[in-house]
Chain A
């Protein structure tokens, strides 16, 4: 398999299937691990990093020999390709920008990826569409066991798995669920929800993790602490809160439908209209409008689109994806024109008007 094979596919976490997938986009678990006999990344030499990469590369290939695995060294990739992997959540932004000897192993179905030489020597993550944290935990746990069979992790009896940053020590585990919460944003209740989550030590982040804006009303809820609770307790903590938030979001949608149906319908229809007719459009505006359209589909206000299609547009209209799909690097201005053209073609074909409709 090659990197370009991914451009034609939607990826696991955007399939738009699984429990509660109208609101829960995806479930994800990642583990941070370090080899016991090397310094953490900040104190490594280039030689250390090369040795870590070699050791883990070999191990990862052995472990995932049954899977179709794509192994990529960051230094061999074009900037647009690294950005493409970030947009698909297969690597972190930090990993895309980092120094030498960084690599990633990606499962062809995009159900898991292993980052080598990120903040820690190894980051194992698994993801799945919809709400199913147990399934992703089992996947990650299995990979972790297999990797550990022939390597010694940095581990302390009292503190657990040792990590470069003390915020990850213990289980080294981050459990996260990505939610689409447009109605809570419209009704201005989102901050209240976040404040209550912070009180129970859960973190809220935007679509692309730390420091990223909550684009398209996507929010990731994850555990803040990693020490003093077992893996299953950490999963339970996040899983238990999700139905509560889903319920708030559904109530907010009900409220919008009942109290201001015309406004809501207008908002959704205009968003759809702009996406189908715009001649130039930024990534941010696209995300913003797609968010309304997505909610419109969920509420039955738009009937000629389905959720997997919208999910696909969310990812395919992002800068690196757009450039990969339309073939070639572009400046922002050209990209905005190309994005609008792509949306028109895609959405007008979907409702039966055909790709030629854009010339009328």
Chain B
């Protein structure tokens, strides 16, 4: 496929979701850069900025790589990378783990740093990750009940109560 702006091969396939119905763009690398730079000059708020930066992750990836990346989903909350990229908002705490490779450059780009040095909760932070697993377990429990897998549902309920019981 040719770039919509010139005769070069289109290697970037951008779907814009901002104006009602999706708009598709097929562009070569140069024009894609230009397009993304111009559309990110007026980001709407912080999420707009994150989305604009996330769009830049697309640069330097082939269409196939990007398509594959976009389909990656968080095992805990189910958000896909594509959904994050278009909204600029993450789905759950575990996204920071499962999309770490993609988020790291984005975070450095925003903050100039990648390590927290400030305040921390008084409770053990390991407990925080455990509790995030509750999001997945509750979702699986609901699915198990919907599918009438009651034995599985029972196991999940015990597991949930065990984690919930650690800290009220």
Interface residues of A (CB under 8 A from B): 34-43, 119, 141, 144-145, 148-150, 152-162, 164-171, 173, 201, 210-211, 225-231, 234
Contact = CB atoms under 8 A, between A and B. Distances in A.
B107 to A, nearest CB: 6
B115 A39 contact: no
Query: In the complex, which of the residues A119, A148, A153, A171 has the most CB atoms of chain B within 10 Å of its own CB atom?
Result: A153
Secondary structure at the B interface, as helix, strand, loop or mixed, is loop
A40 B79 CA distance: 11
6 contacts: A34-B93, A43-B79, A169-B111, A170-B113, A229-B113, A230-B119
Given A165-B46, A211-B44, A225 B127 contact: no
A308 to B, nearest CB: 32
B92 A40 contact: yes
B112 A119 contact: no
B153 interface: no
Contacts of B107: 159, 166, 169, 227
Closest 4 CB pairs of A and B: A228-B113, A160-B116, A43-B91, A154-B93
Given A43-B77, A169-B96, 6 more contacts: A37-B164, A161-B116, A168-B46, A173-B118, A225-B112, A227-B110
A104 B103 CA distance: 31
B152 interface: no
B112 A166 contact: no
B89 A119 contact: yes
B135 A39 contact: yes
B141 interface: no
Contact of B90 (A153, A161, A164): A164
Given A40-B91, A227-B115, A229-B118, A159 B110 contact: no
A158 B93 contact: no
A201 B128 CA distance: 31
Interface string B120-151: 11110101110110110000000000000000
